[in-house]
Structures are given as C-alpha cells and as structure tokens.
Amino acid sequence: MSDYVARVLDIIKARNANEPEFIQAATEVLESIAPVLDAHPEYEAAGLLERLVEPERQIMFRVPWVDDNGNVQVNRGFRVQFNSAIGPYKGGCRFHPSVYLGIMKFLAFEQIFKNSLTSLPIGGAKGGSDFDPKGKSDREVMAFCQSFMTELSRHIGADTDVPAGDIGVGAREIGYLFGQYKRLKNIYEGVLTGKGLSYGGSLGRTQATGYGLIYFTDAMFKANGLSLEGKICSIHGNGNVAYYAAEKVMSYGAKVVTMCDSTGWVYDPEGIDLDAVYEIRFVKRARMSEYTNYRPNAEYHEGRYDWSVKCDIALPCASQNTLVLEDAERLVKNGVIAVCEGANMPTTLEATEYLIKNGVLFAPGKAANAGGVATSALEMSQNSQRLSWSFEEVDAKLKGIMENIFEQVKKASDEYEPKNYVVGANIAGFLKIADAMMAQGIV
Ligand code: NDP
Ligand code: 2IT
C-alpha cells in the first residue's frame, strides 16, 4: 500500500470512527487504487484523496409526521451529496430502521464510482431515513414521505440532485415523494427517477438493476468460457433487485433454488416460483414464510440465510455485509463458481478476499448492480427530451452499458495488480473521477 493511501486511511478512521461501513467501503477503494496513485504523484500534490473521501455536503434533518393513532413520530432524514465532479448528484433513498449517517456515506461513496462506470454524467449521492415502512398504512407512508420531501426539496432538483429508490423505497414511495415536490416547487421536472409510467417514469427502470446484474454476469461468464445455462443460483433477498435478477437469470436457463427476506429463507429444489414471490412481496407486502402455502414441497427456514445450499452462482441482493467469511467458506466448499453482488457491499472484506483467493469469479456491486442507476440516467435523458423510449430500446441500452462496464472492469483488472474485478472496478471508476476533479481545480 502506498504511503499516501495509508495516511488518508488513517485520516478516514480518525474522522469517521463511528462509521464502520464507510471505513469498510473507503478502505476497499483506496487499497485498490494504490498503484494508480503511485503512478500519478500529481494526485497527492492536489490533495485528491483527502477531497475524494470528504462529502461535498451532508444534510441531516428532522422528519415529523403523525401516525394513524394520532401520535407524533419523529424520524431522521439524510442526504449525502458526496461528489459532483462528473454530473449532478444521483443516487437512491433508503428507508430502513438501520439507516444512520455511516450507512448513507458508504452508499454515497460507492455510488461515485458506480456512476462513473456507467459512462453517464451523474455524480454520487445517497439519502434516506431510519423510518421503517414495514407494517405502516399507506396513509402513514404518505405522511412520512410528504414530510421528508418538505425538507429534501430545498436541496434537490433535476440539474442539482436526483434521488431514486433503494431498500424500502419503491414505486409507492417515489409517487408520494414526487407529488409533494411538485406541490412545493410548482415545477414538473425529472427530480426523481423510478417514477410511475404515467408521470415521467422510464420503461425498464423497475427491472433494470436485476436485469443489469445478469447482463454483467453473463458477460463475465462468457469472458471466462462459461455459460449461465443449467446453473443453480442462490439469491439473497426477494425485493426489487432480487426478484428481477431471478426472472432474468431464469430466462438464460439457470435455476434459482433459494430466496429470502430478513426473517427467513426458502429452498425450492424444483426452482423458485416467481409468481408466488411477486404476490407475497409486492402485492400482499407479506413475509416469505407464506411461500410454502403456494409450494408445499418447498422448505421454509426461519432466520438468516447462511448460504448453505449448494449452488453455482450466489447473488447477494439484500443488504450490506450479509455474506461473511463463514458463508464464503461454505460456498467454496460447495463448489460455487461465481458471486455477483446485486446489493451494495453485501460481502465483507474478509469474505471477498477468501472468495477471490479460492478462484471464485467475484463481480463487485459497484459494477454489477450499476444497471439501476444507469437506467435512472436514461430516465433523466427521456425527461429532458420530454420523450419516452420503448422497453426494447431502454433494455438494449442497459445491456450495452453493462457489457461496456464489464469491458472497462476487465481491462483495468488485466492492467493492474492484483488481477481481479474488485481492483478493476475501483480503478476504472476512479480514473474518470480523478481526471474530472483534477481539471476542475481545488474545489
Ligand atoms: P427492497 O426493499 O426492494 O428489498 C430489500 C430486500 O432485502 C428484501 O428482501 C429485504 O427483506 C432484504 N433485506 C434487507 N435487509 C436485510 C438484512 N439485513 N438481512 C437480510 N435481508 C435483508 O430493496 P432493493 O431490492 O431495491 O435493494 C436491495 C439491495 O440492492 C440494496 O443493497 C440496495 O442498496 C441495492 N441496490 C438497489 C438498486 C435499485 O435500483 N433498487 C440499485 C443498486 C443497488 P425484508 O423485507 O425482510 O427487510
Ligand atoms: O444503489 C443504487 O445504485 C440505487 N439504489 C439506484 C440509484 C438510482 O439513482 O437509480
């Protein structure tokens, strides 16, 4: 590791001591890009890393709302506008009780490099709240979203910062957020992505992260002389990313045998029934424990999925740090070929290292799950043009973008040591940011 990287990592650890997820994300990126920094002493002279790891702006605010019992509730809202070197801030909003500043910062930091890899003009940001939509009525969710947007609207705009969905923020939430923004600002603009099709959304955005993950995985398999056909997949999660990854990988002739939510997991040796998952997750907003009502021969297990079912491809599509070293050991023991991250940072640093050391093809989230934000950028383009493109057009662009991301990642991984796709993604994403930051002076 270069002295410069070590020094900046020390600063990060001292300044953000209570934010382990941010330290984890920053450590992975900084260690990967060390060879580039050694080759470019001008970056150190310009304080590039010190600036890169400090958000341009972080906003924290009170979100008061009234629940169905007439009680006042207060949540905390966030928007971290991390880096605008290559475009307006762009990144999702997460509503989950675990949200705090450290999670927002790790996600916004990852987003900088992911957005750079898409080759589209979007900076890095993330937002959200510790609000838990689970078990809330539609009216409560609307009241929360309206209050959240009342403050957030001061800080965003179609050319400033364009939020979208993430965990706990889907079509319903985006609709309420958009309605309140329009009401407050009296502007009909593409200030959010993931919108409904009747009010400026893009065809293909709902499917994009999951589909993109499989386009990336397919490109990686082909480059390694492999095919998705007939492979067995384990998917962690059953939400937006997990569901559409399952649908797409099945269309390539693979079989998905496990899916889960945060309370339990199902093993369906005959292949997961996606209609059942759709109804449980998106229609009833119920738990995966109901799956056996649809498929009596499947197994339901309460608790955390421990990656114990034998599979060729593991797709962690739920949340951060859900694939730890012991899970990686189980996967390797069972002969896993590839781990492709649909979620952001689902694999711990130790587990990632173990998988790569054991020859597993490892597709890092900031490259493999970039299809969602890339299609969000396509939604922004359509909104600016006041046009909407067909599903086929958007999907073809998404596929092209994912293949291009794989090519960039592969090229950088061939060029730099150690040769793996984590290093490739971090370096390829970093180079464009570094170039733009250098050109724009000390800002
Ligand atoms: P959803 O809210 O649609 O689904 C989240 C899924 O993850 C649910 O199955 C949820 O279960 C599960 N989950 C959440 N936390 C945990 C946990 N700690 N342990 C186990 N399961 C958990 O979110 P998305 O599908 O949109 O997002 C999933 C991941 O993909 C996140 O990491 C997100 O940052 C990332 N991502 C999302 C993109 C998008 O376009 N939506 C784009 C790129 C990345 P439960 O309902 O029980 O909580
Ligand atoms: O993590 C992510 O890339 C997202 N949640 C999607 C962001 C976006 O702006 O579509």
**Could you tell me the pLDDT band of residue 2, with boundaries at 50, 70 and 90?**
confident
Q: What is the rounded average pLDDT of the residues 51-73?
A: 98
Structure tokens at 107: 């996600």
Residue 31's nearest CA partner among 429, 432, 422, 431 is 422
Q: Which strands make up the sheet holding 161-164, listed edge to edge?
A: 57-66, 72-83, 123-129, 89-95, 161-164
Which residue, 116, 94, 117, is CA-closest to 104?
Answer: 94
Query: Is residue 212 in contact with ligand 2, taking CB distance under 6 Å?
Result: no
What percent of the chain shows pLDDT beyond 70?
100
Q: Label residue 223 by pLDDT band (50, 70, 90).
A: very high
Ligand nearest to the CA of 192: 2
What is the whole-number distance in angstroms between the Cα of residue 175 and the centre of ligand 2?
16
Assign residue 273 a region (left: φ > 0; alpha: ψ between -120 and 50; beta: otherwise).
beta
- The conformation of residue 198, written as its DSSP 8-state character, comes to G
pLDDT in tens, 383-403: 999 999 999 999 999 999 999
pLDDT per position as a tens digit, 263-281: 999 999 999 999 999 999 9
Tell me the pLDDT tens digit for each residue of 337-352. Answer: 999 999 999 999 999 9
- What tokens appear for 410 in the block? 């592969």
- Tell me the C-alpha to C-alpha distance, in Å, between residue 236 and each of 208, 239, 258, 309, 319: 17, 9, 8, 12, 9
> Atom 23 in ligand 1: which residue has the minimum CA distance?
167
Q: What pLDDT band is residue 282 in, cutting at 50, 70 and 90?
A: very high
What is the residue type of 438?
Answer: M
Look at ligand 1, atom 47, and give the residue with the nearest C-alpha.
262
Catalytic site includes residue 185: no
Helix or strand or coil: residue 383?
helix
pLDDT surpasses 80 at 1: no
Mean pLDDT computed over 369-381: 98
Tokens coding 205: 């955005």
Using most ligand atoms within 8 A of CB, pick from 118, 262, 283 the residue to mutate for ligand 1: 262
Are 16 and 408 a contacting pair, CB within 8 Å? no
- Active-site residue, from 90, 105, 126, 195: 126
DSSP of 254-313: -EEEEEE-SSEEEE-TT---HHHHHIIIIIS---GGGHHHH-TTSEEEES---S-S--SE
Residue nearest to atom 9 of ligand 2 (CA): 91
Does residue 118 contact residue 91 with C-beta atoms inside 8 Å?
no
Give yes or no for residue 284 having a pLDDT over 80.
Answer: yes
Mean of the pLDDT values across residues 190-206? 98
CA 201 vs CA 177, 205, 235, 376, 394: distances in Å: 14, 8, 27, 9, 12
pLDDT at 404 over 90: yes
The helix or strand, by DSSP H or E, that contains position 339, with its residue range, turns out to be strand 338-340
Q: How far apart are CA 162 and CA 122, in angstroms?
A: 9
Ligand 1 contacts CB of residue 331 (under 6 A): no
State pLDDT tens for residues 158-189. Answer: 999 999 999 999 999 999 999 999 999 999 99
Measured in degrees and rounded to the nearest 5, phi and psi for residue 78 equal -140, 150
Q: If DSSP codes are grouped into helix, strand and coil, which group holds residue 82?
A: strand
Q: Between vectors from CA 324 to CA 30 and to CA 362, what angle results, nearest 5°?
A: 60
Q: Among 174, 180, 195, which residue's Cα sits nearest to residue 147?
A: 180
DSSP code for 123: E
- Evaluated on CA atoms 318, 324, 326, 329, the torsion sign reads positive
